[in-house]
Each structure stands twice: as structure tokens, then as C-alpha cells.
Amino acid sequence: MTTELKNSRPTSLLKLDQVSKVYGEGDTEVTALYPITLDVKEGEFIGIVGPSGSGKSTLLSIAGALLSPSKGNIYVSDQNITSLSEKEMTDIRLKRIGFIFQFANLVPFLTVKEQLIYIAKLKGESKKNADKYAAHLLKTFGLSHRINHYPRQLSGGEKQRVAIARAFMNNPDLILADEPTASLDSKRAREVVDMMKHQVKKNKKAAIMITHDEKMLDVCDRILTLRDGKLLTPNEI
């Protein structure tokens, strides 16, 4: 019996239930998302594609508790986070979510290792654990020889790999990436995406990646297409 229950996984890491978003009001009102329902299971790598302005970043921001929806509910690991306070949302982000954006946004006056340690400090990890995990991640992302470098001493690809390592530093269940490879050449882009996939599969996390680069979509288990704020069904694509 117990075995059967265990096998009934994979667990849901993120659920959007009829989530919609309207920006502004009156004359300036823009419907960025019409009601969207989505369930992301552990171990899943999801791609989001769609033209500029179709609502991709809005969807990712809502999924990552950076933005509140106008309607609908959001569940992170089965916890309803829709009506949490700002402080509680920050806590969810810190504990459960790793963000990667197009630009690395590293802190200029921190070394590579310090960029990661900083996250662990926010989370209240011991220095010893933080040091150990940072070293492990930097090795995984091929950055062991750069740990004491500052961002200005790194190439674009290295900076982005630091940003990705940093996104994993809080050991998040859910990785949300908005055009993570847009500033990289195709060789680096491939490396970065493969590393993300490896982390997702090996450590039973989930990832949602927005990309314009069709070559990167082969890592995805599912690809969602947005157009004018709506998820297209396969026969609409």
C-alpha cells in the first residue's frame, strides 16, 4: 500500500488555477493574461514561447510570487500563496524559488563566491554549510577557478553561469527563467540550458523557461505557446 502511494508521485510543485492579470484600469487597462490553468510536476522542464507582449513575463512573475494575479489561485507545493502578505511572499520566494533573468544582475562589489553566500545568509544558513554548498555549485557550473573574481573580471557566459548557480543556492524546488540565454552565444547557451536540465532531473526540481531560441527547446518536456494572453491548444499552434 505504502509503495503504491509513493509511486503515485510526481508531486505538483506549482499550480495555477484560472489565473488572470489585468494591468491598469479604465482607459489604460490591458489584459495581459486571460484565465490560465497549469500544473507543473516535480522533474518537469517547461518551455514558454510566444511573441513579444503575449504575457510570458507576466505569467512567470505571477508563478514566482513577484506579482499578484487579478483573479485565480496559485499553489506552490500545494500551499495556496495567492493571498499571502508581502513578507510571506518574500519568504516563499527565498525558500522555494530560483529566478534567472536575461542579464546576470550580479552585485558588482561581491566576488563570485560572495554572490552565492549572500543568498544563504538571507535564508539563515550556517556559514559552514553555505561555504560548502557554494563550492559544490560553482564546481558544478564550471566556475571553481573563478570563485574569488569580481563580475567585471568575468565573461558574459561566466556571469550568467554565476547567476544560475546563485539561483540554485537556496535549493529551490522551482526554477523560473526569463530568456536566460538571450545574452549568450549558442555554445554557452547550450551549456547553461543543459546544466539547468541536469539540476531539474537529478534533484527533482521543476523549471519554467521562457525563450525565443528554438534550439533550446529540446530540453523541455512540454512547450506552452502564449498568444495575446492566452495559452494555445496544440491544434491552434
Ligand X SMILES: Nc1ncnc2c1ncn2[C@@H]1O[C@H](COP(=O)(O)OP(=O)(O)O)[C@@H](O)[C@H]1O
Interface residues with Mg ion (CB under 5 A) are 57
Question: Could you tell me the smallest distance in angstroms from the CB atom of residue 121 to Mg ion?
Answer: 30
Question: Could you tell me the smallest distance in angstroms from the CB atom of residue 85 to ligand X?
Answer: 21
Count residues contacting ligand X (CB under 6 A)? 12
**What region does 72 belong to: left with phi over 0, alpha with psi -120 to 50, or beta?**
left
- Segments in 37-124 forming alpha helices (H): 56-63, 86-96, 112-123
Judged by beta carbon, residue 55 or residue 151, the one nearer Mg ion is: 55
Which grid coordinates belong to 3?
509503495
Q: State yes or no: residue 23 binds ligand X (CB under 6 A).
A: yes
Question: Could you tell me the smallest distance in angstroms from the CB atom of residue 228 to ligand X?
Answer: 9
- CB proximity list for 193: less than 8 A, separation 6 or greater: 180, 181, 209, 216, 219
d(CA 36, CA 54): 13
Q: State yes or no: residue 24 binds ligand X (CB under 6 A).
A: yes
Judged by beta carbon, residue 57 or residue 111, the one nearer Mg ion is: 57
Judged by beta carbon, residue 58 or residue 225, the one nearer ligand X is: 58
Look at strands 45-49 and 71-76 and give their pairing. unpaired
Cα–Cα nearest to 22, from 33, 11, 12:
33
- Binding to ligand X, residues 30-89 (CB under 6 A): 30, 32, 50, 52-58
Q: Which does 103 bind (CB under 5 to 8 A by kind): ligand X, Mg ion, none?
A: none
Backbone angles phi, psi at 189, to 5 degrees: -60, -45
The number of CA neighbours under 13 Å toward the Cβ of 155 is 6
Q: State yes or no: residue 225 binds ligand X (CB under 6 A).
A: no
Backbone angles phi, psi at 173, to 5 degrees: -75, -30
Judged by beta carbon, residue 101 or residue 141, the one nearer Mg ion is: 101
Judged by beta carbon, residue 32 or residue 184, the one nearer Mg ion is: 32
Question: Could you tell me the smallest distance in angstroms from the CB atom of residue 36 to ligand X?
Answer: 12
Question: Could you tell me the smallest distance in angstroms from the CB atom of residue 233 to ligand X?
Answer: 18
Q: Give the interface with ligand X as residue ranges (CB under 6 A).
A: 23-24, 30, 32, 50, 52-58
